[in-house]
Structure 1
Amino acid sequence: MSEQEKMNEEIQEENIETAAEEAAEEETAEDNKTEGETSEEKAEADGEEETPEKENEQKEEKKKGFFHKEKKDKKDEKIAELNDRLIRQMAEFDNFRKRTEKEKQQMYGIGAADVIEKLLPVVDNFERGLAAMTEEEKNTSFAQGIELVYKQLMTTLEGLGVTVIEAVGVEFNPDFHNAVMQAPSEEYESGIITQELQRGYLYKDKVVRHSMVMVAE
């Protein structure tokens, strides 16, 4: 093969390679163009989704969600308010119940003390009658019956909380005793009660009647 022919053959091969490269570059450009068009179409498609109607729908959904949350919050606040009100009313009712019970006990105590005070003269008469009996009269069935009634009455009063105030041999206390006389005493020191003229009584630590006493000078 001559030199001329070799040169022609190399030129043809170079032309073929150049044509192939140009064809590849055109194909790559076409692909890029196609991808660009696809991206633009996608962007346009996305743009079509973001229409005013779509935006309004999204706003409405957000608005509904906001109102739903606000409604739920208001409902929780109302429940908390009602619970708080219920707790306060229960506390007030409990205080009212305790106060009513206390007032009831106080009224009962006042009423009971008033009745007991009215019964004490009856007790005094029983004691005077029994003390005035002779030994012979005390052995009769009548006197024994009187004594049984007296004991039953005192047992009933004790069951209600009535107790006798101590007097003779105890230091005078104005909270429990009423001194009507003072006299010298060889047996007791000054200020000590020497004689009880009338019994005094307590009803549950409350004085129903003071003891009427004589105190040593």
Structure 2
Amino acid sequence: MEQEPEIQEEEVKAEDTAEAEATETAETEETKADAEPDKKGFFGKKKEKKDKKDEQIAELTDKVKRQLAEFENFRNRTEKEKSQMYMVGARDVIEKLLPVVDNFERGLKSIPEDQKDGPVASGMEMIYKQLITVLTDLGVTPIEAVGQEFDPNFHNAVMHAEDEELGENTVSEEFQKGYKYKDAVLRHSMVKVVN
């Protein structure tokens, strides 16, 4: 009979050992789970734990993108400034040429009728036409004045008169021709306005 308690003691020891191994295995799995966090979050999506290298890469990528955008803005701003400087420079040069054009026109008007076919008159006419062609190619156009309605944006009224034949607020005479460079007014037309 004494053998039976020994067998029972061995069975109890075996059971205790199995339980201890099971709890040890469970504890080991829990510590592994704690050491290696759950990679699945809500709805089964993986949680991403960023590495320092990934953070540096993201930061540097962001810096590069910002610098590229800044450079693009700088390039656009520089192009705009260059075109504006060109416009200002061209406008200054053209404004200085306009009195030369005026003098050519006065000179051509002062030539007597009997000398208009002479070599001096024809030379002046050719130079004048060439000068007007160059100005037109640059984008300079004369402002229409005589017969037009007075517009303070284009005309400078220096005289006022009454004339029943012409309509209200009409330009009857032009004293000095006005010019536009592209869309900007270089010089207003000096005009006489009637009614």
In the alignment, is residue 80 of structure 1 matched against residue 55 of structure 2? no
- Which residue does 1:110 correspond to in 2? 88
In the alignment, is residue 95 of structure 1 matched against residue 67 of structure 2? no
- Which residue does 1:154 correspond to in 2? 132
AA of the residue aligned to 1:74? K
- Which residue does 1:15 correspond to in 2? none
Query: What secondary structure is seen at the aligned counterpart in 1 of 2:163?
Result: coil
AA of the residue aligned to 1:83? T
Unaligned runs of 5+ in 2: 37-47
Alpha-carbon distance, 1:40 to partner: 5.6
In the alignment, is residue 198 of structure 1 matched against residue 176 of structure 2? yes
- Which residue does 2:160 correspond to in 1? 182
Alpha-carbon distance, 1:143 to partner: 1.2
* Conserved? CA contact 1:190–1:215, under 8 Å: no
- Which residue does 1:170 correspond to in 2? 148
Alpha-carbon distance, 1:187 to partner: 2.7
Question: Relative to structure 2, which stretch is displaced further, 116-125 or 81-90?
Answer: 81-90
Q: TM-score, normalised by structure 1?
A: 0.68
Q: What per-residue deviation string (whole Å, max 9, x for no partner) do you get for residues 197-217 of structure 1?
A: 100000111111000000002
Query: What secondary structure is seen at the aligned counterpart in 2 of 1:182?
Result: strand
Q: 1:124 aligns with which of 102, 105, 119?
A: 102
AA of the residue aligned to 2:132? M
Higher share of residues assigned helix: 1
Quick one: distance in 2 between partners of 1:207 and 1:111?
Answer: 15
Quick one: distance in 1 between partners of 2:164 and 2:99?
Answer: 32
Quick one: distance in 2 between partners of 1:40 and 1:84?
Answer: 58
Q: Percent identity?
A: 58
Query: What secondary structure is seen at the aligned counterpart in 2 of 1:214?
Result: strand
Query: What secondary structure is seen at the aligned counterpart in 2 of 1:202?
Result: strand
Quick one: distance in 1 between partners of 2:163 and 2:57?
Answer: 79
Unaligned runs of 5+ in 1: 1-25, 48-54, 64-68
Q: TM-score, normalised by structure 2?
A: 0.76
In the alignment, is residue 133 of structure 1 matched against residue 111 of structure 2? yes
Alpha-carbon distance, 1:180 to partner: 0.4
Alpha-carbon distance, 1:149 to partner: 0.8
Alpha-carbon distance, 1:186 to partner: 3.1
